Amino acid sequence: MNTKQQEVRLVRFPLKKGKLTRFYEWMQYLNEPKNRGEIIEGIGEAEIFAESVFLSEEAGHYYVYYYMNSENPFRGHRAVSSGNRSADIRHFRFFAECIDMENHVVQEALFHVNKP
């Protein structure tokens, strides 16, 4: 049983215009079995219990929805951003290239439950 306090976040990021193909390339990289071990190692060090990425088209614009369940999202972000894993480095390059970080929206979980 996981007794650590968890924080659940859903963040909506606008995808920069013309970056849809690049977004799918990044999702393909994340989903390749050969990269899975490094990704699991990274989220473990960042104290992330689960994360998911979704894509939505709304009124002609694409948005990336990022779900994270973690012990401490700020500590996790620092751990990943200071890491030297290939996946972490590529992740931040991808975000800089494709994600509009200035116009993101953080959603608070109004209800969340985990199986004990």
Q: Where are the alpha helices (DSSP H) in the chain?
A: 20-31, 33-45, 73-81, 86-98
Residue 97 has pLDDT above 90, yes or no: yes
Q: What is the CATH number of the domain that holds 56?
A: 3.30.70.100
Higher pLDDT, 100 or 3: 100
In this predicted structure, what is the pLDDT of residue 1?
Answer: 44
pLDDT tens profile 10-46: 999 999 999 999 999 999 999 999 988 888 888 888 8
- Confirm whether 51 is domain-assigned: yes
First to last CA, the chain: 6
Range of the domain at 47: 7-106
pLDDT tens profile 40-76: 888 888 888 899 999 999 999 999 999 999 887 666 6
- Confirm whether 116 is domain-assigned: no
Residue 2 has pLDDT above 80, yes or no: no
- Confirm whether 81 is domain-assigned: yes
- Confirm whether 44 is domain-assigned: yes
- Return the closest-CA partner of residue 95 out of 29, 23, 9, 11: 23
User: Could you tell me the pTM of the whole model?
Assistant: 0.84
Rounded distance between C-alpha atoms, residue 103 and residue 116, angstroms: 36
- Confirm whether 2 is domain-assigned: no
Mean pLDDT in the chain?
86
- Confirm whether 114 is domain-assigned: no
CA 42-35-5 angle, 5° bins: 30
- Report the number of distinct structural domains present in the chain: 1
In this predicted structure, what is the pLDDT of residue 4?
Answer: 63
In this predicted structure, what is the pLDDT of residue 103?
Answer: 95
